[in-house]
Amino acid sequence: MDIPEQDLRDLIALRHDLHSYPELGFEEERTSGIVARLLQDAGIEVHRGLGGTGVVGTLRAGNGQRAIGLRADMDALAMPERAERPYKSRIPGKMHACGHDGHTAMLLGAAKYLAETRNFTGAVAVIFQPAEEGGGGGNEMVKDGMMERFGISEVYGMHNFPGIPVGQFAIRKGAIMASTDEFMVTVKGLGGHAAMPHRGIDPVVIGAQIVIGLQTIASRNADPLEAVVVSVTKFTAGNAHNVIPNEVKLGGTVRTLKKEMRDLAEKRLKEVAQGIASAHGATVEIWYDRNYPVTYNHDLETEHAIDAAIAIAGEANVEKNMNPTMGGEDFSYMLESRPGAFIAIGNGETASLHHPQYDFNDEIIPHGISYWVKLAESRLAG
């Protein structure tokens, strides 16, 4: 499809504006206000406040009764931007390091086109979600009754992927992104003088052994053909060079692609930590949170997504069985609520997601808009 040059320039300017003023999860007041205004300007019915700061626009055409949902995320990350560009973040300690500014711009572009052409029969719900980056905004929108309220029968998501060439797409049936559990282990020992360690129970040494022990979950407990990641990313202990502290805190994340592996990892993490602590006369307190579930693409809806991508990019530019990634995505909650599919769109050779020099590639905006439009028109054909 051809996008008018002025429309494309406007969308790029919008994307740059959103990039300059990033907002964290559930704080997207400015962003959601802009989204709502642009949807209204396009003649689209607007619903605000879903999941906190979420926005849903609804378009109807013909007499079809089916409705599909197209979702983009709006939030930024709590990290500084380390690259100089004219539209660099103006908010200290916050940046769009995952491309949600671009996702928002692409879906707005698609919504405007669909509103102008109405080449479908039924309803399209364009979903602008808050708080994907750890806040579970997708879950909050589902809990607010979004699917039932707008009669959504299928739901689709898209994310840019650095390393995939511009103009290409990638997808797979089944698990495409991992669950994202989090844990914190508090090791309680007996502190004292660092020169007399025999008089205490050193939680630092015990904590270090737990860190190493947790690596055996993937290497010695899980089937080698199954995907399990256990990463300790925090270790806090003491304040002085000559004092053994009373306790140590260590935490991190567990990533899996199957429920069985998720259950195994949680069980073994608790057993390993408790066992090592007990062997040294210490105790542990364990907090374990099952965060985002596995992002699981449904078979039929994945086929629909593949067909739409091939129609606009050509079969050679659509990878139909991409390797899953151990990153997480709260679109998973929407896929648990309704059948659908999540697709990757190539961002070219850019810095990786969540990197302080990352930037969304404006060249992919027409490709993303075309995909959304083709998907909506094909799924709601008269």
Do 252 and 169 share a structural domain?
Answer: no
Say if strands 228-237 and 247-256 run parallel, antiparallel, or are unpaired. Answer: antiparallel
> Of 28, 73, 75, 133, which is the active-site residue?
75
Do 233 and 314 share a structural domain?
Answer: no
- pLDDT at position 301 is 98
pLDDT average per 10 residues of sequence, the chain (382 residues): 93 98 98 98 98 98 96 98 97 98 98 98 98 97 98 98 98 98 98 98 98 98 97 98 98 98 98 98 98 98 98 98 97 98 98 98 98 98 86
Which residues, including other chains, have CB under 8 Å from residue 214's CB and lie 6 or more apart?
230, 232, 269, 272, 273
Q: What is the CATH number of the domain that holds 210?
A: 3.30.70.360
Evaluate whether 172 touches 62 at the Cβ level (below 8 Å).
no
Evaluate whether 175 touches 294 at the Cβ level (below 8 Å).
yes
Strand order in the sheet with 318-319: 45-50, 54-61, 122-129, 67-73, 152-161, 340-346, 169-170, 318-319
Question: Does the active-site annotation cover 299?
Answer: no
Distance CA 314, CA 104 (A): 25
Distance CA 84, CA 179 (A): 34
Boundary residue ending a domain (289, 322, 353): 289
Do 173 and 183 share a structural domain?
Answer: no
Do 51 and 156 share a structural domain?
Answer: yes
| Amino acid making up residue 142 | V
Boundary residue ending a domain (258, 289, 320): 289
Do 298 and 153 share a structural domain?
Answer: yes
Question: What does DSSP assign to residue 321?
Answer: S
Q: What is the CATH number of the domain that holds 125?
A: 3.40.630.10
- pLDDT at position 382 is 76
Using alpha carbons, select from 6, 8, 3, 30 the residue that is nearest to residue 128: 30
Which residues, including other chains, have CB under 8 Å from residue 310's CB and lie 6 or more apart?
318
> Of 27, 132, 202, 377, which is the active-site residue?
132
Cα radius of gyration rounded to whole Å, the chain: 23
Distance CA 350, CA 360 (A): 8
Do 311 and 224 share a structural domain?
Answer: no
Do 109 and 168 share a structural domain?
Answer: yes
Tens of pLDDT, residues 32-46: 999 999 999 999 999
Domain that holds residue 26: 5-177+294-379
- pLDDT at position 258 is 97
Distance CA 37, CA 363 (A): 25
- pLDDT at position 97 is 98
- pLDDT at position 121 is 98
**266 three-class SS:** helix
The total number of residues written for the chain in this structure: 382
Per the structure, the count of domains in the chain is 2
Evaluate whether 228 touches 261 at the Cβ level (below 8 Å).
yes
Do 363 and 322 share a structural domain?
Answer: yes
Using alpha carbons, select from 109, 59, 110 the residue that is nearest to residue 308: 110
Do 301 and 164 share a structural domain?
Answer: yes
Partners of 70 in beta bridges:
126, 156
Tens of pLDDT, residues 183-219: 999 999 999 999 999 999 999 999 999 999 999 999 9
Distance CA 310, CA 316 (A): 8
- What is the rounded average pLDDT for all residues in the chain? 98
Do 41 and 173 share a structural domain?
Answer: yes
- pLDDT at position 2 is 85
Question: Does the active-site annotation cover 132?
Answer: yes
- pLDDT at position 31 is 98
Do 250 and 170 share a structural domain?
Answer: no
Evaluate whether 161 touches 346 at the Cβ level (below 8 Å).
yes
Using alpha carbons, select from 194, 189, 232, 239 the residue that is nearest to residue 210: 232
Question: What does DSSP assign to residue 337?
Answer: H
Evaluate whether 100 touches 72 at the Cβ level (below 8 Å).
yes
Do 183 and 173 share a structural domain?
Answer: no
